[in-house]
Amino acid sequence: MRWLIALLALNFVLHAQAAKGPPVPDYPADRVAEGVYVIHGPLTTPNPENQGFMNNPALVMTSAGVVVVDPGGSLQSGEMVLRVLKKLTDRPVVAVFNTHIHGDHWLGNQAIRAAYPNARIYAHPKMIEMARNGAGDDWISLLEQAAPGAADGTVPGIPDQPVDNGQSIRIGDTEFRIHHFGQTHTPTDIMLSIRDGRILFTGDNLLNGRLGNTRDAHIGHMIEATDALVGKLDPQVIIPGHGRSGDRAMYEHAMEPFRVIYRIVREQYDEGLSDFEIKPMVVEALQDYRDWEEFDTLIGKMVNQAWLEIEEADF
């Protein structure tokens, strides 16, 4: 009988070990400013090839230690971020910021917390509430469908430090300013600026090279708020939620399709047209962006979303 229990226990241990997905291969850390690195992830949605890693984890070196912005979308992505960080410095991670509730940005928290239990994890209070209510589990189920096995072993690591618009968090020699404008890409978004606004982390309020899922967004507010913040801070380096970081010219190019969608939908809404009639006009106007990732799958949804927002404001 004892051997049977031992065998069952061994089987359980082996199974538990097998239940962790394979490592995400190391991606390069690109230096975007002195002491600031971005691991630019793939632009594709989660699939077996990218193993669910698709965002832009960033590493900020401060005199107190390392600050990670958005450590990736799974345990494995977070572990990759830590391996890449080790190639740059032996200094510990002292804090993490999560820009919003979408799991591709924050499920890597688990790996950071396992390696650095004292690291503080900051997020907007609405994000913390949604994370506590199981939003991370929804993302894990989505990963199980899109990249089977890749994120096995991932357990949501809930942020524990609420931060809101106007707050400043000083970490060593670096001050992180928090910007929140209600519902933008989601109702939970924070944008972060450091070094007197010279460097800006937008989260998914800016996407460079792909369209975005806007099911939780108010596209109009998102464009307005992000444009206003960029106008005010005049940052020299802008780090989007997905796609290459760049300067103000990159920003203008990457935000343009969102502005074009909104402008055309508003004009044609006023002419009495429906979203399905407006869509081909938008596609025609955005020929330069046809090679953007997810263009064909998301353009119709974005036109529909913009149309509903404009209708609601008109009501």
Site residues, Zn ion (CB under 5 A): 102, 204
CB of 247 within 8 A of CB of 238?
A: yes
* Minimal distance, residue 223 CB to Zn ion, in Å: 15
* Minimal distance, residue 186 CB to Zn ion, in Å: 6
Q: Cα 210 to chain center, whole Å? A: 13
> What CA–CA distance (Å, rounded) separates 154 from 143?
10
> What CA–CA distance (Å, rounded) separates 216 from 185?
7
Closest by Cα among 301, 310, 299, 313 to 273? 310
- Closer Cβ to Zn ion, 37 or 139, answer by number: 139
CB of 161 within 8 A of CB of 123?
A: yes
74: exposed, middle or buried (C-beta count within 10 Å: 0-12, 13-18, 19+)? buried
- Closer Cβ to Zn ion, 61 or 81, answer by number: 81
> What CA–CA distance (Å, rounded) separates 192 from 208?
17
* Minimal distance, residue 16 CB to Zn ion, in Å: 31
> What CA–CA distance (Å, rounded) separates 170 from 263?
39
* Minimal distance, residue 73 CB to Zn ion, in Å: 10
- Closer Cβ to Zn ion, 102 or 113, answer by number: 102
- Closer Cβ to Zn ion, 102 or 126, answer by number: 102
* Minimal distance, residue 204 CB to Zn ion, in Å: 4
* Minimal distance, residue 144 CB to Zn ion, in Å: 19
> What CA–CA distance (Å, rounded) separates 214 from 222?
10
- Closer Cβ to Zn ion, 121 or 278, answer by number: 121
Which residue is closest to Zn ion by CB? 102
Residue that has been written with the tokens 């307005």 in this structure = 224
- Closer Cβ to Zn ion, 115 or 295, answer by number: 295
